[in-house]
Amino acid sequence: MGEEVKVFRTWSSPFALRVVWALDLKGIKYETIYEDLSNKSPLLLQYNPIHKKVPVLLHNSKPIAESLVILEYIEDTWKHRPLLPQDPHQRANARFWIKFGEDKVFPAVRDSLLKQGKEQEEAHEAALESFKLLEEELKGKKLFGGEEIGMVDIALGWLANLVSVLEEVLVLKFIDEHKFPLLSAWMRLFADIPVIKQSWPPRDKLVTKYIAIREARLATN
Amino acid sequence: MEEQKSEAVLIGTWRSPYCQRVELALKVKGIPYEFIEEDLSNKSELLLSYNPVHKKVPVLVHKGKPIAESLVILEYIDEQWGDSPKLLPEDPYERAKVRFWANFYDQKIMPATLPIIMSKGREQEKAIDDMNELLREFEDGMKRDFPGKFDFDDSQNLGFLDIVVATYAGNYKAFNEAVAVAMSPEKTPQFWSWVNALKEHPLIKETLPPHDKLVAKMREKFYGQTTNV
């Protein structure tokens, strides 16, 4: 077919992992280009001049940036093994939860890492509140996509591995098995799916990375 | 009767640009709808039951089922009523570009108005400069990704980005009067001439809130000033 698919990523970017998972689930072949964000390549800057970040998907010389936009592009382009339901209302529901993950869940967890004192407490509280809503949404389902991984699972998948890393780094509990049984079960199930499992970054490296990020942030305060 | 269930109901407020986006999308597609004006200081049971997560407007209720979040609603409308005119382009790459810039507008440009509203003097000037920097980026992006985008004439159909931009930037005169002259055509002339062309589109003209009413509302909401209007 002569399709050229390239993924610009880093070894640990949770956003880039979304793109990797989507392509792997659909069985699309691609070349991986690892970026060093402290020394961005001219190609990355050319392909994502606005945000200068990973991931970037390059498909037949067309660059697409922003992981959630890339997921929709992958879904629009390769229609087999769909990641979104067919029904418009169910698709809207999936997009709603993807947005919820981005607007509420992620910032709360991120701020729990980056802040301290009262601000950290508030971020942690907000994270727990957001997990309650995810727990509700999982009622009657084993995955957000139902029986199979869908775009919501992919968008929230960073939880399945980063939460335990951050719990270790911060000595703070996020997803307690007893408070969030469905979410805990989802994280285990998701993490164990072969396509997902094979791409997790090494845990010890992640712990080191996030300790360093927190220390750097606290040092600037 | 079956007719009842297939009716579209929009729960919103007259001054919310997010609600206006949904109205415009429904109008572009020619879908009849009922508008329920919500009092956000006293939220209805209806709103709370249809959007328990965010408790915000807009919510579109169609066939008895709610959809929330304006951009999610726009995609729903385009898919549910799949006939032309289409809000999003057909080509996946073109769609990706539209989604990228709609997100940029919502995540970067719209929040940039808040510091302008909340500050004064030098701080406000800086906030205005920051906003204009973002608008410049947006303007460049439109020229690069959508050649011909700025040659809008009101006989054209409104697309996704037209709707996203017109519903906020279209109120710039009210913002300039109520807050500060933040939106100045000289800094990003092509962007503003596009916005002015959009404002002439019949559907946008009839959907944007009336100027004086909006100025009064902005003054009340941002600065607690009440006027006899």
Q: What is the pLDDT of residues B117-134, one digit of tens each?
A: 999 999 999 999 999 999
Pick from A73, A92, A96: CB nearest B96: A73
User: Nearest to residue A172, comparing CAs of A216, A127, A219, A106?
Assistant: A127
pTM of the entire predicted model: 0.95
With CA atoms as reference, the chain B residue closest to A87 would be B80
> pLDDT digits over B61-78, tens only?
999 999 999 999 999 999
Across B23-39, average pLDDT? 96
Contacts (Cβ under 8 Å, ≥6 apart) of A161: A191, A200, A201, A203, A206
With CA atoms as reference, the chain A residue closest to B102 would be A69
In terms of pLDDT, which residue wins out, B112 or B7?
B112
How close, in Å, is residue B224 to chain A by CA atoms? 28
Q: Does B63 touch chain A (CB under 8 A)?
A: yes
Q: What is the pLDDT of residue B186?
A: 86
| Predicted confidence (pLDDT) at residue A124 exceeds the cutoff of 70 | yes
> From start to end of chain B, where are the E strands?
8-12, 33-37, 59-62, 65-68
Average pLDDT, chain B: 92
Cβ(B43)–Cβ(B82) below 8 Å: no
In terms of pLDDT, which residue wins out, A90 or B187?
A90
Task: Tell me whether residues B93 and A91 touch, CB distance under 8 A.
Answer: no
Across A173-200, average pLDDT? 97
| Predicted confidence (pLDDT) at residue A221 exceeds the cutoff of 80 | no
| Predicted confidence (pLDDT) at residue B167 exceeds the cutoff of 90 | yes
Q: Does B92 touch chain A (CB under 8 A)?
A: yes
Cα–Cα dist B92/B98, whole Å? 10
With CA atoms as reference, the chain A residue closest to B69 would be A96
User: Nearest to residue A155, comparing CAs of A220, A98, A113, A212?
Assistant: A98
Cα-Cα-Cα-Cα dihedral sign, residues B214, A100, B86, B194: positive
Task: Tell me whether residues A92 and B75 touch, CB distance under 8 A.
Answer: yes
| Predicted confidence (pLDDT) at residue A109 exceeds the cutoff of 70 | yes
Pick from B63, B72, B76: CB nearest A99: B72
Q: What is the pLDDT of residue B2?
A: 43
With CA atoms as reference, the chain A residue closest to B137 would be A50
Cβ(B76)–Cβ(B69) below 8 Å: no
| Predicted confidence (pLDDT) at residue A3 exceeds the cutoff of 90 | no
| Predicted confidence (pLDDT) at residue A1 exceeds the cutoff of 70 | no
Could you check whether the bond before residue A55 is cis, i.e. omega within 30 degrees of 0? yes
**Which backbone phi and psi does A142 adopt, to 5 degrees?**
-95, -30
Contacts A–B by Cβ distance under 8 A: 60
Contacts (Cβ under 8 Å, ≥6 apart) of B69: A95, A96, A99, B54
Q: What is the pLDDT of residue A21?
A: 98
Cβ(B38)–Cβ(B12) below 8 Å: yes
| Predicted confidence (pLDDT) at residue B44 exceeds the cutoff of 80 | yes
Q: What is the pLDDT of residue A2?
A: 60
| Predicted confidence (pLDDT) at residue B21 exceeds the cutoff of 60 | yes
Q: What is the pLDDT of residue B92?
A: 98
Q: What is the pLDDT of residue B3?
A: 44
Percent of chain A with pLDDT over 70: 99
> pLDDT digits over B192-220, tens only?
999 999 999 999 999 999 999 999 999 99
From chain A, pick out residues whose CB is under 8 angstroms from the CB of B141.
50
Across B106-124, average pLDDT? 94
B61 - beta bridge partners? B9, B66
| Predicted confidence (pLDDT) at residue B1 exceeds the cutoff of 70 | no
Across A130-147, average pLDDT? 97
Sheet of strand B8-12: strand arrangement: B33-37, B8-12, B59-62, B65-68
Task: Tell me whether residues A72 and B99 touch, CB distance under 8 A.
Answer: yes
| Predicted confidence (pLDDT) at residue B4 exceeds the cutoff of 70 | no
Percent of chain B with pLDDT over 70: 96
Pick from A65, A89, A100: CB nearest B65: A89
Confidence of residue B155 (pLDDT cuts 50, 70, 90): confident
Confidence of residue A116 (pLDDT cuts 50, 70, 90): very high
Across A106-126, average pLDDT? 97
Q: What is the pLDDT of residue B228?
A: 61
Cβ(A26)–Cβ(A74) below 8 Å: yes
Confidence of residue B5 (pLDDT cuts 50, 70, 90): very low
Q: What is the pLDDT of residue B227?
A: 65
CB atoms inside a 10 Å sphere around CB B21: 26
Q: What is the pLDDT of residue B180?
A: 85
Tokens found for residue A36: 């060093």
Confidence of residue B136 (pLDDT cuts 50, 70, 90): very high
Across A101-124, average pLDDT? 97
Average pLDDT, chain A: 96
